[in-house]
Amino acid sequence: MAGRKSWEMFFNCHQPRKRALIKLMDNAKRLLSQKTPKVIVAIIFMVTAGILITFMQTGVKLLSDELHPFVIVFFRAFLVLFILLPAILYKGKSSLETSSYGLQITRGLFGGSGMVCVFYGLSLVPLAEATTLLFTVPIFATLLSIIFLKEAVGIRRWTAILFGFAGTIVVMRPDIAISLGHMMLLYAAFAWSVCVLIAKKLTQSDSVLSITFWQAVGSAPIGFILCLYVWQWPDLQQLLYLFCIAGFGTAGHLLMYAALQRGAVSFILPLDYLRIIWSTAIGIFIFADVPSFNLYIGGALIISATSFITFREVKLRRKAKPVITPPTTP
């Protein structure tokens, strides 16, 4: 009861701000009027989301020279709670309700561990390689759906899975060495594939805001525990970087959800592969990382495999109830 009263007092004392936020949100909705075709809005949202997520990953890679990745993980998750506050005030505390706290906690644990591995991996692996390896999420998700959901998979999707893993091996170049960074990124892809399957279930009853909020709630404690051993207080400039990282990541994921709500998954999701172009360009001009020939070959195999898996899933579920496909990036 005390917790409930504190929530009510919090929201009641912010009523004037809430009214201002409602007015601001209503004006924003008018800007996205029905006169603009939904598919155009979806394309803009998806491309912008890819750019923002690439900016987030770039910020992590740059800042990891000054702050430990574990510290960055904690602030990435913790600051999301403040970034989402205007939306929570606008929609009310009911927007945070969930149909399954167990699934949310499980998703938070896998998502938090995946975020740790992504951020640590970004400090060790070139940006374009990291982005390419993270595109194996649909491949892992398909394998998990076979094992745990008993989903029937034909020879064509099995072939796509094998092609995808072949591409992963080409990118990692095990004949030279398998680095810790590559292994952490692969675990991150696996962890996020678990999050994708759970989120597909949650989106049938929970709001996008609720899923995003509880993901941050689950990830922040993991980052906090790990960063205790390597803690350092960020200065003002680093704190600004951390806010940008959290803001870019949150806005990117929300825009992905919005894009997938407005356009066909088979058409919208492949636009996410443009992130390889953005990350390659940033890698060359900022980090002087020139992609190897292996990255082009392996990337082509991974993209072809994940594209086919996505198209096949959409085709098989076309007559079923539409389910929003969650973002495939930690």
Model pTM? 0.79
Give every residue of the chain whose pLDDT is below 70, as ranges: 1-36, 174-177, 263-267, 313-330
Report the number of secondary-structure helices (H) and strands (E) in the chain.
15, 0
Domain hosting 302: range is 38-316
* pLDDT tens digits, 94-146: 888 888 888 888 888 899 999 999 999 999 999 988 888 898 888 888 888 87
Note whether 199 and 326 are within 8 A (CB). yes
Packing angle, helices 293-316 and 155-172, rounded to 10? 160
Note whether residue 2 is domain-resident.
Answer: no
pLDDT per residue as tens digits for the range 143-189: 888 787 777 777 888 888 888 888 888 887 765 567 888 899 999 99
Q: Helix or strand or coil: residue 68? A: coil
Within a domain: 4: no
28 falls within a domain: no
Number of domains composing the chain: 1
Q: What pLDDT score does 248 carry?
A: 94
| 156 occurs within a structural domain | yes
- The answer to the question of residue 323 being in a domain is no
In a domain, 89, yes or no: yes
d(CA 193, CA 197): 6
**Residue 112 belongs to a domain:** yes
